Amino acid sequence: MNQPASATLNFLNNPQNRHWCEQAGRILPHQRHYRLAPDWPESDAAAFAGLADRLRQDGARLLMLSGRPEQYRLNAQFTYYLIFDLFNFPTPVSESGILLILEYTTAATTLPPLLAVFLNHPFYGDAVNTFWQKLKIELPGRPGESPAAQPDPGRVTLNVGPDHAGIIPPGQFQFSLSGEEIDRLNIQLNFTRKQLAAQFARGTLVDGARLAAFIAGGHAVAHATAYCRAVESLANLSLPQQAALLRTLLLELERIHNHLHTLGGLVEHTGNAVAASDFFWQEEEIRKMCGQIFGDRLLRNQVVVGGVQAELTIPRLRHIRAVVAGVVQAAVQLGKQLYHAPPLRERLINCGTLTRQHAIKTGTTGLAWRASGQQTQSDRAAQKTVRTGPDYPADFRLRYPEAGYTTGLIQEILGKHFTAGRAPVFSQYNYRGDCFSRFLLRIEEIALSGKIIEDAVQNLTTLSNSADPPRLDPGEVGVRLRQAAPFSLGLAVVEGTVGPVCCLVLKDSGEHVEFFALADASLLNWQGLRAACTHPANQSGPGVGPVFSENLLGDFPLINKSFDLSYSARDL
């Protein structure tokens, strides 16, 4: 039954068929999105299995699984949306990559056959299970949370949370310990039940941008940008160049202050209070500047449908460039000093190692995936059946760029950074997925963000006196949204601090939100964190020696901070 699945995906490679999709409205305008709705009978599990295998062979990685109750279709209970990044799919439609929306409507009240196939799939199983557990909580008529795992006989079980001493959202960590070594870690989130998706449905498409910025304070720009790009895609709205560059500037500022905050906390956990205070001071410099120029230290309410709120003058742009340049230089210099510091190296190297194999299996993405190192021999051998692809496509700024990242020089900066023969800040270090790798990669990303901001500011300076506006006219935006076809679907992926933010928006017959779903990279990376805490990494690399990971309970704060995932973005 592989033939129908292969024919379905080969359909994308035919230019005439792509043109038909465009005319029929099944491909979203000006985006690299395809919508496929298999019409095979639900009982034909073999066809679904063939589709899953074909996706795996072409390197497709799952970004989101979401669903909604059907209110307007007869004999239908739910529609499920599976969003795939065609990671290494051979297609002439794009030089960088495309996304596939697998839309599946079913009358089943239990686990649908399509999801059952993906849930039991060796490649997609862990990722689908993560999304499915979340869906069971959020969708009406579904059972509640899965019961906590039973303690293992002969081992000590320690529960931490859901309430914590720090000011963080709730989350429960259940450790199964042999002495002090972590044998098993169960992570349970979704305690807050914020019901943000329902709040989106009560407002207009334009109002949703403000809500998206409050999903998680530290990722306000990434979430709001993903939402706005999804809405703009369904209405076929193209941004002015100044608006696109301003979004790029805001995204990189957010990336820098988030990385600095994580680096400060990570170094503080190793006992180096002086270096930690330096990172926190650098973070404060960025946040203070954001508060002075944009009116909000976390850059909330800046991104709107059609552009951005801020209108920056040339003196303000020069101030941003000067502050960022000083902070980036200080952070990179401090990172180079800490690279040679024996206490930090001893504490972070081989701690919380996430191998590339475990990263692939758990669906880990973003920074944690990039830090898992180069392809190993086993990866290259497995490439006959699973294309892991080169390292760079894991960053969507290069692979699936938001409008402001498409400028020639910014793409050149990103291309040089992610090229196999690059010379980054720590070119002498062989990344292998431990806490030290994630520490160094954050330093490198700060340096990269500094270069992007410098180029964006230079371009904005030349546009500041032109007629190019920072946002589209709100009246025109409202008209275009109302004119969009009823139940149009918008999709966007934006590279946030820890990885891609995938957002799906469905409009109703007017200008309101019919359905909203957002998957932050943290959603999948919690499984990567669990794997890094519990799976030994018995491998070696050139010039590295044996790599091992016997993580103790005392290592967990370091591992957790090195990933620095969002609790709030998980609990929508």
Angle at 255 (CA atoms; ends 250, 256), nearest 5 degrees: 100
pLDDT, residue 16, reads 53
DSSP tag of 465: T
Q: In what order do the strands lie in the sheet with 172-178?
A: 156-160, 172-178, 181-188
pLDDT at 217 exceeding the cut of 50: yes
Question: Percent of the chain having pLDDT more than 90?
Answer: 27
DSSP 335-356: HHHHHT-HHHHHHHTTSS---H
pLDDT at 317 exceeding the cut of 90: yes
Per-residue pLDDT band for 148 (boundaries 50, 70, 90) equals: low
Q: How far apart are CA 521 and CA 222, in angstroms?
A: 11
Per-residue pLDDT band for 337 (boundaries 50, 70, 90) equals: very high
Closest CA to 244 of 407, 113, 123, 464: 407
270 and 561 in contact (C-beta within 8 Å)?
no
Residues 180 and 324 in one domain: no
Residues 121 and 259 in one domain: no
pLDDT, residue 257, reads 95
Helix then strand then coil, in percent of the chain rounded to 5, is 50, 15, 35
Q: 10 Å Cβ neighbour count for 425?
A: 18
Q: Answer with the residue of higher pLDDT: 111 or 242.
A: 242
Q: Both tokens of residue 209?
A: 């941008």
Q: How far apart are CA 273 and CA 263, in angstroms?
A: 12
Cα atoms in the Cβ-side hemisphere of radius 13 Å centred on 271: 8
Residues 253 and 319 in one domain: yes
C-alpha torsion sign, points 351, 352, 358, 360 = negative
Residues 125 and 163 in one domain: no
Q: Answer with the residue of higher pLDDT: 464 or 482.
A: 482
39 and 48 in contact (C-beta within 8 Å)?
no
DSSP 544-571: TEEE----BGGGHHHHHHHH---STTT-
pLDDT at 54 exceeding the cut of 70: yes
Per-residue pLDDT band for 449 (boundaries 50, 70, 90) equals: very high
Q: How far apart are CA 364 and CA 528, in angstroms?
A: 5
Q: At what angle do helices 556-563 and 521-534 cross, to 10 degrees?
A: 150
Residue 452's φ and ψ, nearest 5 degrees, are -65, -40
* Interacting residues of 426 by C-beta distance below 8 A, sequence separation 6+: 335, 339, 440, 443, 444
* Interacting residues of 436 by C-beta distance below 8 A, sequence separation 6+: 344, 345, 348, 349, 351, 429
Average pLDDT over residues 304-327: 92
Per-residue pLDDT band for 11 (boundaries 50, 70, 90) equals: very low
pLDDT at 436 exceeding the cut of 60: yes
522 and 363 in contact (C-beta within 8 Å)?
no
Q: How far apart are CA 16 and CA 49, in angstroms?
A: 27
The range of the structural domain enclosing residue 176 comes to: 156-188
pLDDT, residue 89, reads 45
Q: 10 Å Cβ neighbour count for 548?
A: 12
- Which residues, in sequence order, are bridge partners of residue 181? 178, 552
pLDDT, residue 30, reads 38
pLDDT at 413 exceeding the cut of 90: no
Which region among 215-229, 231-245, 399-413 has the lowest average model confidence (pLDDT)? 399-413
Q: Both tokens of residue 553?
A: 């309970």
Radius of gyration of the chain (CA): 23
Average pLDDT over residues 168-184: 83
Q: 10 Å Cβ neighbour count for 312?
A: 21
Q: 10 Å Cβ neighbour count for 55?
A: 25
Residue 302 domain-assigned (yes or no) = yes
Residue 414 domain-assigned (yes or no) = yes
Residues 45 and 123 in one domain: yes
Residue 401 domain-assigned (yes or no) = no
Query: Helix/strand/coil (H, E, C) string of 116-184?
Result: HHHHCCCCCHHHHHHHHHHHHHHCCCCCCCCCCCCCCCCCEEEEECCCCCCCCCCCEEEEEEECCEEEE
Q: Which amino acid would we find at residue 61?
A: R
Residue 204's φ and ψ, nearest 5 degrees, are -80, 170
Report the domain count for the chain. Answer: 3
CA distances from 242 to 83, 309, 413, 466 (A): 30, 12, 19, 10
Residue 540 domain-assigned (yes or no) = yes
Question: Percent of the chain having pLDDT more than 70?
Answer: 79
563 and 528 in contact (C-beta within 8 Å)?
yes
Residues 203 and 172 in one domain: no
Q: Choose from 250-254, 386-390, 391-395, 421-425 the range with maximum mean pLDDT.
A: 250-254
Residues 178 and 104 in one domain: no
pLDDT at 524 exceeding the cut of 70: yes
Per-residue pLDDT band for 15 (boundaries 50, 70, 90) equals: low
Residues 110 and 236 in one domain: no
Residues 288 and 227 in one domain: yes
pLDDT at 537 exceeding the cut of 60: no
C-alpha torsion sign, points 265, 270, 272, 275 = negative
Per-residue pLDDT band for 548 (boundaries 50, 70, 90) equals: low
Per-residue pLDDT band for 206 (boundaries 50, 70, 90) equals: very high
DSSP 420-448: TT---TTTTS---SSHHHHHHHHHHHHHH
Residue 375 domain-assigned (yes or no) = no
Residue 71 domain-assigned (yes or no) = yes
Q: Are strands 99-106 and 33-36 parallel, antiparallel or unpaired?
A: parallel
537 and 100 in contact (C-beta within 8 Å)?
no
pLDDT at 283 exceeding the cut of 90: yes
Q: How far apart are CA 469 and CA 480, in angstroms?
A: 18
pLDDT, residue 372, reads 84
Average pLDDT over residues 483-492: 86
Q: 10 Å Cβ neighbour count for 108?
A: 14
pLDDT, residue 73, reads 65
Q: 10 Å Cβ neighbour count for 510?
A: 12
Residues 94 and 36 in one domain: yes
pLDDT at 151 exceeding the cut of 90: no
pLDDT at 266 exceeding the cut of 90: yes
CATH of the domain at 67: 3.30.460
Average pLDDT over residues 119-142: 80
Which region among 35-39, 316-320, 353-357, 396-400 has the lowest average model confidence (pLDDT)? 35-39
Residue 207's φ and ψ, nearest 5 degrees, are -65, -25
- Say how many residues make up the chain: 572
User: What digits encode the pLDDT tens for the residues 380-407?
Assistant: 444 433 333 334 456 888 777 777 888 8
Per-residue pLDDT band for 333 (boundaries 50, 70, 90) equals: very high
Residues 296 and 326 in one domain: yes
Residue 78 domain-assigned (yes or no) = yes
Q: Are strands 513-519 and 500-507 parallel, antiparallel or unpaired?
A: antiparallel
Per-residue pLDDT band for 534 (boundaries 50, 70, 90) equals: confident
CATH of the domain at 523: 1.10.645.10
Q: Both tokens of residue 465?
A: 């006196």
Which region among 107-111, 293-297, 343-347 has the lowest average model confidence (pLDDT)? 107-111
Residue 327 domain-assigned (yes or no) = yes
pLDDT at 171 exceeding the cut of 60: yes
Instruction: Identify the residue whose tokens are 């091992």.
Output: 548
CA distances from 205 to 210, 291, 310 (A): 10, 27, 20
Residues 109 and 176 in one domain: no
